[in-house]
Amino acid sequence: MKRILMALLLTAFTAQAFAIDLAGAKSKGLIGERSDGYLGYVVKPASADVQALVKSVNNKRRDKFRQTVGKTGATLDQVAKRFAQRAYEKTAKGNYIQSANGQWVKK
């Protein structure tokens, strides 16, 4: 029983140790800021942990955009594009952003 418990704890710790965070995925060039306010995959196919990260962040962004629409009366597209402009400005040098023609470029 102790061996099973130790194996489960080790597995959980190992999975957390290899999980990637937003800054790490950006700095490794795996993901970047899309022109529509959401994250996108620079490297395809993306690993499962990168896909989960992008999905989570994009869902949170969508929720925040909708809240802003409710407060301001702007459209969802307007809010998302304004966020994209700010995200581009804040993106660290060497990370990827999506150009107007949809290509990934390093900032």
Give the whole-angstrom CA distance, residue 41 versus residue 29. Answer: 9
- Residue 13 resides in a domain: no
Give the whole-angstrom CA distance, residue 76 versus residue 61. Answer: 11
State the residue range of the domain holding 85.
20-106
DSSP reduced 3-state for 34 = coil
Q: Where residue 17 falls among pLDDT bands split at 50, 70, 90?
A: very low
How much of the chain exceeds pLDDT 90, in percent? 80
* b/e map 60-91, b = 16+ CB within 10 Å: ebeeebeebbeeeeeeeeebbeebbeebeeeb
Domain count, the chain: 1
Between 25 and 14, where is the model more confident? 25
Residue position matching structure tokens 């959980």: 12
**pLDDT for position 48:** 96
Task: Give the mean pLDDT of the chain.
Answer: 87
Using alpha carbons only, how large is the chain's radius of gyration in Å?
17
Residues found in the chain: 107
Give the whole-angstrom CA distance, residue 87 versus residue 9. Answer: 38
Burial class (CB in 10 A: 0-12, 13-18, 19+), 49: middle
**pLDDT for position 83:** 96
Contact assessment for residue 51 and residue 19, using Cβ atoms and an 8 Å cutoff: no
